[in-house]
Structure 1
Amino acid sequence: MSRFYRKSLLVVLALFLSIGMVSPTQAESKAEGGGYWVPKDMVEKVTELMEEGKPIGDLGIKQDQLQKTEGIQPLNELMKEDQQSKTTYRVNLAPPFKTAEGEWAPPAFDYDHIQTTDECQRHPESSSETGYIKNRYSFCWSHVATYQVPVKCIGPICDYEGVQFQFTEIGYGSNQSRKMRVFYTIEDIQVTDPALNGAKLKIDMVCESKLNVGDCQEDPDYPATERTIAQWKNTNYSTEIFTSEAPEANADNPDKIGYMEFWPKLTFTHKARKFEESIDGIKQKVRFDSANYMFVFPDQYYWQGAVFSNATPIFNVPITKPEFEMLKEAGEHWKFAMDHPEQTKPEMIGKQIPGGVGDNTLTRMYSKRHQTEYNRNRSKTSRVCAREFANEDRTGKQCDEFPFASTWQGSSTNGSDNFSIRLISADSNEAAGRWLGAWYAYDRVLDGDPFQVEVEAPEKIATIRSEGQPQEDQDHRSSDNFSIQSIPSYATKLQWKVIDGPTNVQFDVMKDISFDVDPTILNDLQFESETDVVTGDNLYIANPENTNGESFTVEVYAIP
């Protein structure tokens, strides 16, 4: 090499250093790289950039998310958080059955767990900030994680190698012990360089006691798991288990409640590149208890448990299913009370009855702990029934009340007359009472826990008056516009009923589109026709037939 060339090279190197152009080894310690939880709608773009070796941080995705510990909190604050949760889940309980002695018995308890990672990932809430709480005993969270390792940098510009995978955790509670376990997997593992197969990924479920120091006990037989990426490809799952030590019962905590929060910490290490990054998943809360009244007649006991409490249960009553026929009368009363409180007994101007989905919740009142208040509910209901139904034959019937006597919204404890009573068959009343009591124990609904009630029954969502022929100057339209909105979540179909006018009328439903041709939404509807659920504004009845020119009224029901 000539003296001139060596001198020129030194000048160029000095210039690079002066403007920040440094060697790859020096740049490596300054380049960011990082770990990312990738939003669902950005996975495709992130994967493309990762494969090209380009930085994904420019997409604005938050990286290196780390959870903070918050320490011990008061019980009332933790329970308040549960009560204010906007998350709900629907209870799926089998119907009661009659024993050989003719008494109603509750169904057997059955865990309705999330069974597979696919079941978790298909649910739209599985990647949300709260995760998917299927019920009190099953929770899951699933997200794509991406790590980028800087491998070659010239100044601030780097090339990257990356690893990406789908992380899924499924949490399981218990109705038998103060124990919860977390099963987790990583799937769809991709690396942009085979060398990354030797890098290590450690997954640790971190937990924090929230009420008592013994709320979070990690099982030493199920520690955090660290494997190389190649090993994770071969064995892609692991488990961690946590238990809670029951505190002494006292006046403020008679059910020996404990709380903990847990979250996943994923740490990716590439020693050769001197790269290590950790990212934390979302927090989830677990409540433990040793309530001694989780009892189902005649001989089922559930003395302790662990539940995902940050969700409000919806007590679901599917009375349109044949196997729930015994609950039909009770369920119809509960639904009518919530939907039409002003038409219930006892009469009261401005009556409002809570309990419906989206409405004010009901709150369980354990009768033996609050015997005086419970007796007041039963006594008031009895007095009002005797007054309201004094002239009716009550043979084989009982007085049903809603909200239930076992809630703080019962006939006396609600502080007013915001309740409903109705005579129903003793058989339906007893079946419903046994079923409700079993659900309290099966779902670990403690004294003071909120819940809502949903009765799956046909719900009227629209009423339309139609002429017997197209309106004047109209080719098809025979009614004014109407809308179909607020479909109950359990509805799977719409039912169309003609409640007056010709019995064999036939008609279509069209949609009013300004400055365009109106499309036909539904064809050839008749009395009690069932269709798929449609929603929207500016719908109208069209093309009526078999009317003899008579007008008619159509009612639309959402049905399970």
Structure 2
Amino acid sequence: MISHFQYCSVKKQAFHWVDSTGKIVGTTSYVQTTAGQAPQDYREIYYQTNLGYFDVVGYSADLPFAVVGTTAGDSGPNGSNPPCGVINSANNPKTLAQWRANGNAVAVSVFDQNKSLAVGRDFVSRCPVATVTAPGTLDYMDAVTGIRLDSASYLEGTVGSGIFDRVTPNLTYSTSSTAHGAVAAHIFTALNNPGATTPVVAGKSIPGGTADRPLTRLYEGWDAAAASQRQKNITAKDNACAPIKPADSTGLDCDEFPFGATREGPAAGSNFSVKYLDSSQNRSAGGTLGTWYTKDRILHKDKFFVKITP
């Protein structure tokens, strides 16, 4: 797994040939490489699989050797959907000899599902997907992961898109950014030295810096409860900012982390930080968050974490 939009699996597979007595008389090994891509504005996921670097020791036979995609349905947090559809390429080499003769050959599989079969207001479909290499009775499953298709109205695109959903996405800010480096520095301190942040709370531990302590998107347009939680985050931030407001706050905003657009924002408890920063930097960072939510397809209640780079 690489990201929401790219997947890669490279594995070496080997199988043995046996005679009628069960004695091993040969071994065939190869490297299977699968590259997956989630194109924008399509409810589809593409797989391309290559079999190469064959090593044959002893006996081998030219048996059927097709690579096909396989999928199933899911009962997830959004509800239950049937198996995704899968279309396998017709030019997939069908025998072991054909794969060995064409080192550039690939098998293509496309996974999709019409939104009419999806669930919830975001039209979500979740499916485990994999490739199956089928040398007769020696079926081998590889490139196993999960995909999610959605058509959320508040994300990018008019049709929807797909992602690889077995990865916790991360938003990256840089402390060297001229646009929002001050915000990145504030987040870095909040995550790595929370005792030095405001408000001062003994034992403060601020989430959001790792996949095992993620943040959760709060889309205030989801319903009245989400809008209320967003407003509570704003109020809690303002209350924490009031005692530290500079006498001259011209050109300054009070920045908060975790973000107000998350369930872990200031209203969630004492594990947050506020700091007055340059207004343009604060608003740039907020714009980056909103754009990333949309482009990386972060649904309401999706988990993510924040990385700070130099």
Specify if TM > 0.5: yes
Report the CA distance between 1:441 and its aligned residue.
Answer: 1.2
Aligned residue in 2 for 1:189: 54
Partner of 1:265: 132
Match of 1:289 in 2: 150
Corresponding residue number in structure 2 for 1:199: 63
Q: Deviations over 1:317-369 (max 9, x none)?
A: 2323xxx2222110011111112222222222332211122652111101212
TM-score scaled by length of structure 2: 0.88
Q: Is the 8 A contact 2:168 2:211 kept in 1?
A: no
Q: Which residue of 2 aligns with 1:209?
A: 73
The verdict on how the C-alpha distance between 1:421 and 1:195 changes in structure 2, with shifts beyond 3 A counting, is: closer
Give secondary structure in 2 for the equivalent of 1:134.
coil
Report whether the alignment pairs 1:327 with 2:180.
yes
Shift, 1:171, TM fit: 1.5
Q: 2:91 and 2:127 mapped to 1: Cα distance?
A: 18
SS in 1 for 2:65: strand
Aligned counterparts of 1:206 and 1:249: Cα–Cα separation in 2: 18
Letter in 2 for 1:393: D
User: CA, structure 1 residues 418+147, in 2 after alignment: closer, same or farther (shift >3 Å)?
Assistant: closer
Task: Select 1:344's aligned residue among 173, 186, 197.
Answer: 197
Tell me the distance in 2 between the aligned counterparts of 1:159 and 1:380. 70
Superposition deviation, residue 438 in structure 1: 0.8
In 2, Cα distance between equivalents of 1:167 and 1:249: 32
Summarize the Cα distance change of 1:249–1:200 in structure 2 as closer, same or farther, 3 Å threshold.
closer
TM-score under structure 1 length normalisation:
0.50
Cα offset, 1:403, TM superposition: 0.6
SS in 2 for 1:382: helix
In the TM superposition, 1:95-114 aligns within 5 A as none
Instruction: Choose from 139, 148, 153 the match for 1:278.
Output: 139
**Distance in 2 separating the partners of 1:340 and 1:397:** 23
2:87 and 2:118 map into 1 onto residues whose CA distance is 24
Give the 3 Å change call, closer, same or farther, for CA 411–267 of structure 1 in structure 2.
Answer: same
Q: Which residue of 2 aligns with 1:228?
A: 95
- Say whether 1:398 aligns with 2:253: yes
**CA 1:195/1:385 → structure 2, altered by over 3 Å: closer, same or farther?**
closer
Aligned-pair CA distance for 1:239:
0.4
Mapped to 2, the partners of 1:201 and 1:401 lie a distance apart of 56
Conservation of the 8 A alpha-carbon contact between 1:344 and 1:420: yes
Q: Within 5 A, what are the aligned runs for 1:430-509?
A: 430-457=283-310
| 3-state SS of 1:266 partner | strand
Q: Give how far 1:180 is off.
A: 0.5
Task: Give the Cα–Cα distance (whole angstroms) in 2 for the partners of residues 177 and 184 of structure 1.
Answer: 21
Report the Cα distance in structure 2 between the residues aligned to 1:365 and 1:224, rounded to whole angstroms: 45
Verify the 8 A CA contact 1:205 1:224 in the aligned structure 2: no
Cα 1:398–1:239, aligned 2, differ >3 Å: closer, same or farther? same
- In structure 1, the partner of 2:244 is 388
- Deviation readout 1:198-230 (Å, 9 max, x if unpaired): 33212121111214454411236x359352222
Alpha-carbon contact 1:215-1:245 (below 8 Å) kept: no
Distance 1:452 1:436 in 2: 12
Cα distance, 1:224–1:283 mapped onto 2, change above 3 Å:
farther
Distance 2:60 2:305 in 1: 54
Partner of 2:262: 407
Deviation of residue 282 (structure 1)?
A: 5.1
Q: Which amino acid aligns with 1:241?
A: V
Q: Counterpart in 1 of 2:18?
A: 150
The residue that corresponds to 2:232 in the other structure is 376
Structure 1 runs not aligned, ≥5 long: 1-132, 270-275, 296-300, 458-560
SS of the residue aligned with 2:305?
strand
1:246 is matched by which residue type in structure 2? K
Name the SS for the 1:277 alignment partner. coil
Q: In structure 1, what residue type is equivalent to 2:249?
A: R
Count of aligned positions: 301
Partner Cα separation in structure 2 for residue 249 and residue 209 of structure 1: 11
- Local SS of the residue matching 2:45: strand
Shift of 1:256: 1.3
Write out per-residue CA displacement over residues 38-77 of structure 1, whole angstroms, 9 at most, x where no aligned residue.
xxxxxxxxxxxxxxxxxxxxxxxxxxxxxxxxxxxxxxxx
What amino acid sits opposite 1:180 in the alignment? Answer: I
Q: Which runs of 5+ in 2 are unaligned?
A: none
In 1: Cα distance, 2:204 partner to 2:59 partner: 70
CA contact (8 A) 2:27 2:59 kept: no
**Deviation, structure 1 residue 192:** 3.7
User: Partners of 1:340 and 1:302 in 2: how far apart?
Assistant: 42
Distance 1:192 1:435 in 2: 55
Q: In the TM superposition, what whole-angstrom CA distance separates every residue of 1:415-469 from its partner, at most 9, and x where no partner exists?
A: x232111111111011101111111111111111111112124xxxxxxxxxxxx
Higher relative contact order (CA 8 A, sep 6+): 2
Contact 1:316-1:454 at 8 Å conserved across structures? yes
Find the partner of 1:162 among 10, 22, 27.
27
- Are the equivalent residues in 1 in contact too, given 2:253–2:277 (CA < 8 A)? yes
Change (3 A) 1:215 1:206: closer
Q: Measured at CA, do residues 440 and 429 of structure 1 come closer, stay the same or move farther in structure 2, by a change above 3 Å? A: same
- CA shift for structure 1 position 248: 7.0
Match of 1:312 among 163, 168, 171: 168
The one-letter amino acid of 2:205's match is: Q
User: For each residue in 1:388-422, what CA deviation from the matched residue of structure 2 results, as whole angstroms up to 9, or x when unmatched?
Assistant: 21x4211111111111010001111x1x2321111
Q: Take 1:188 and 1:170, find their aligned partners in 2: how far apart are those partners?
A: 17
Preserved contact between residue 147 and residue 268 of structure 1 (Cα < 8 Å) = no
Q: What's the secondary structure of 1:283's corresponding residue? A: strand
- What SS class does the counterpart of residue 219 from structure 1 fall into? strand
Instruction: Report if aligned partners of 1:224, 1:240 keep a CA contact under 8 Å in 2.
Output: no
1:232 partner SS: helix
Among the aligned pairs, what percent are the same residue? 22
Letter in 2 for 1:242: F
Q: Distance in 2 between matches of 1:358 and 1:150?
A: 46
CA distance in 2, matches of 1:249, 1:285: 16
* Secondary structure, counterpart of 1:332 in structure 2: helix
